Amino acid sequence: MPSKVAFSNDHSNLEDIEEYYFDSELALQQYFLSSEVPAKFIGCSLSMLQEELKDRTESLDRMCSLEILATLEARFRVDYLVRCQKKKRDVFSKKLRAIYRKKENQASLVDDIISTWRREHPEHKARLDSFQGALDYRNWLAHGRYWQPKKMPHLSRYDYLFLYSLADDILGNIELLES
């Protein structure tokens, strides 16, 4: 078996992302809606300020959504590697080790890891299907949003609150091992 992956333990957790999101949202509102208009906005109409606030809030939403999905990916990949590196003896871990023998650290999150979870733990199928759809959104975000996605005509479904709820549901109901 190849050498073990050294875990950084530097990945985010949902609580930190949530705190950052709400602190940042509040700061944006205070900045744009305070009684003292920042110098750069002197001469702008209220509707222009509100539009700028909306744009900044949408940007915050996308950034935090990406962070949530990266956190979930990290949790599934760490679980995969821990099960393989520590040679866990349960049937599920043995199936993941079979993938590891072929692909090592290059296992596909969706095609290998998530599909094995879905097959071996059908009680989590709906959660994992939602996660897989969210990963399409993550790919669209991470690669610059330059195309109109065909797979995801309803991008508005994926926002920070939806993804936070999905991540909270997954992490609260799927037993993922930690490093």
**pLDDT tens, position by position, 32-48:** 888 887 888 888 888 99
**Residue 1's pLDDT band (cuts 50, 70, 90):** very low
Question: Which DSSP letter does residue 5 get?
Answer: P
pTM for this entry: 0.89
As a whole number of angstroms, the longest Cα–Cα distance in the chain is 68
| Residue 160 to residue 44: CA distance in whole angstroms | 29
**Residue 153's pLDDT band (cuts 50, 70, 90):** low
| Residue 74 to residue 4: CA distance in whole angstroms | 16
Nearest Cα neighbor of 82 from 1, 177, 8 is 177
Q: Which residues of 71-88 are buried (b: 16+ CB within 10 A; e: fewer)?
A: bbbbbbbbbbbbbbbeee
More confident residue, 105 or 145: 105
